Chain A
Amino acid sequence: MNYEVVIGLEIHVELDTVSKMFCGCSTKFFGEKPNTFTCPVCLGMPGSLPVANEKAIECTAKIGLALNSKIASFTKFDRKNYFYPDMPKDYQISQYDLPICEGGYVDIEMEGLALEGSGSRGYTRRVGITRVHLEEDTGKLTHIGESGRIGGADYSLVDFNRAGVPLVEIVTEPDIRTPDEAKIFVQKLKNIIEHLGVSDCDMEEGSFRCDANISLRPMGSKELGTKSEVKNMNSFRAIQRALVYEIERQRELLRADERVIQETRHWDAANNVTMSLRSKEEAHDYRYFPEPDLVPMELSGEWIEDLKNTLPELPDARKKRFVEAYGLSVYDAELLTSSKTMGDYFEECARAYNDAKKISNWIMGEFSMHLNATNLKIEESAVTPKHLVQLLRLIDKGQISGKMAKDVFKEMFESGKLPKIIVEERGLSQISDEDAIEKIVDMVLEENKKAVEEYGSGKDRALGFLVGQVMRLTKGSANPQLVNEILRKKLT
């Protein structure tokens, strides 16, 4: 039997506010000592009272607006009750029936990929957004024992620095059909949130986390199959690989007439498998009730409208502008706007240098190759827009050839030196002086009479040989175009 894959995602985004959600503790604790960013509120001390951070409400509504959601005119916080040592209060302040944002969608472009059941390549998938709500993040647990995991641990240690950090949860409709779609969706969502400037979206540091609900159903069926929830996918690659694995696992179970168990599974990237957490059958009964310590919120139409007007340019609009303003192809514009920092980098270059296509070619060619090889992001590279623009100018002036420029690029990528300095230090300047090249050409013609004759009798290959001789004598520093021209002129 053929099965249809049904995937829904839950994405958690830590907001980049100065202070926590309900208290004034700083959120900048990464790399700091444990339990040094707490206060009576985020430690859940009796008698302390939370007060909502207005900026966090704003950021959540901004995310909703960017995802085409409806922003609630009336919203409130609720208590989610559960016993787990990552929360000092034994409940988490979250939102239940009246989230800040409801509905919405994100369109993703699946270029070059075929939609199942159709022959056409390249399609758009609209992924519905169920809701976007605001809650507080939990503390961090470290499990001590041989495995380092919760199962089999001897004991655990708790750090409450993260407890109370504003956390936005984005829930999608089960509209995703393939691991590729899931990956592209998460990349696009991250890109949108980066453009909004409300989170640093660092997957490794955990400020952008993704969980997936996956189920299979017989093709054509409307009913949803039993799902499993996969957690701990902390890279785009992990999302894709975990989903591929989980789909295959469920397909095999169904084909063997076995049941899929509704459970939470952990992606183990080292072993390339998802594993059941095997915790005791948890009773998921959170007994939500309205948070009595926080009053409800009314968001006026005017407030929402004002917020809408402050929204920055988002990736889709930016892509369109890159095509129109810089004359780039849709493909190039798509890649250049695939992250905020990449787009910013391109635009900084484009302000200083007017051939956008050349900038784009370098960023997507040589630059990306070095970035991929070193696993660096563009903003982490030693090559700043100033470096790249200077390099392009050196090529334009004929001071270095395109081939030499690649070597210079490699060195500036490694050392961070400006290209002018590298060219000087290595004595790389390309010989573009016609007289100088003519002298060398004369010498080569004199010494290679046989090749000259061959060329005269129609053997084009001989020209290549002569060019090669000139390049050899100049140690590759002659402008090859000029050498070609001069040679042809002299040979006719």
Chain B
Amino acid sequence: MAISKKEVEHVALLARLSLSEGEKEKFSKQLSQILEHAGKIAELNTEGVEPTSHALPIKNVFREDEEKTCLSQKEALSNAPAKEDGMIKIPKIV
């Protein structure tokens, strides 16, 4: 299963990554290899096996609707590179 350069560009755009032409070539090859490797699973005989989205046989893990202590504003913002008025300051979006 080959990943074209065009697909690499699309995925890069969605992930907000800017790649050089050389990187696009390189990732197109590497991603194809990864998919090929994962594609081996398709060789298994899965007849009679229920499709699943989770590997663990666990269901219905819930929490009670109860309030817990929150972080302070200072703690919450401690990783933010820029802040203003108790909020995280970010570059313009569009």
Contact = CB atoms under 8 A, between A and B. Distances in A.
A485 B13 CA distance: 88
Contacts of A200: none
Given A57-B62, A155-B92, A157-B84, A19 B67 contact: yes
Interface residues of A, number: 54
Interface stretch (A31-39, A374-382, A443-451): A31-39
B70 A36 contact: yes
A292 B1 CA distance: 25
B62 A155 contact: no
Contacts of A76: 53-54
Interface residues of B, number: 37
Contacts of B69: 24
Contacts of B13: 283
Contacts of B90: 85, 155-158
Contact of A150 (B16, B68, B73, B93): B93
A223 interface: no
A287 interface: yes
Interface in B60-80: 60-73, 76-77
B70 A26 contact: yes
B86 interface: yes
A24 B87 contact: no
A435 to B, nearest CB: 68
A147 to B, nearest CB: 12
A25 B14 contact: no
A285 interface: yes
Nearest to A74: B59
A376 B78 CA distance: 43
A17 B89 CA distance: 29
Interface in B40-65: 53-54, 56, 58-65
Interface in A228-284: 279-280, 283
A39 B75 CA distance: 9
A296 interface: yes
A26 B69 CA distance: 8
Nearest to A52: B62
B15 interface: yes
9 contacts: A18-B65, A36-B86, A43-B76, A53-B62, A150-B94, A158-B87, A285-B14, A295-B60, A296-B53
Name the 8 nearest CB pairs between A and B, nearest first: A24-B68, A290-B53, A54-B62, A55-B65, A157-B87, A158-B88, A51-B63, A34-B86
Interface of B: 10, 13-16, 53-54, 56, 58-73, 76-77, 84-94
Interface of A: 17-19, 23-26, 33-40, 43, 51-57, 76, 81, 83-85, 141-143, 145, 150-151, 153-160, 279-280, 283, 285, 287, 290, 292, 294-298
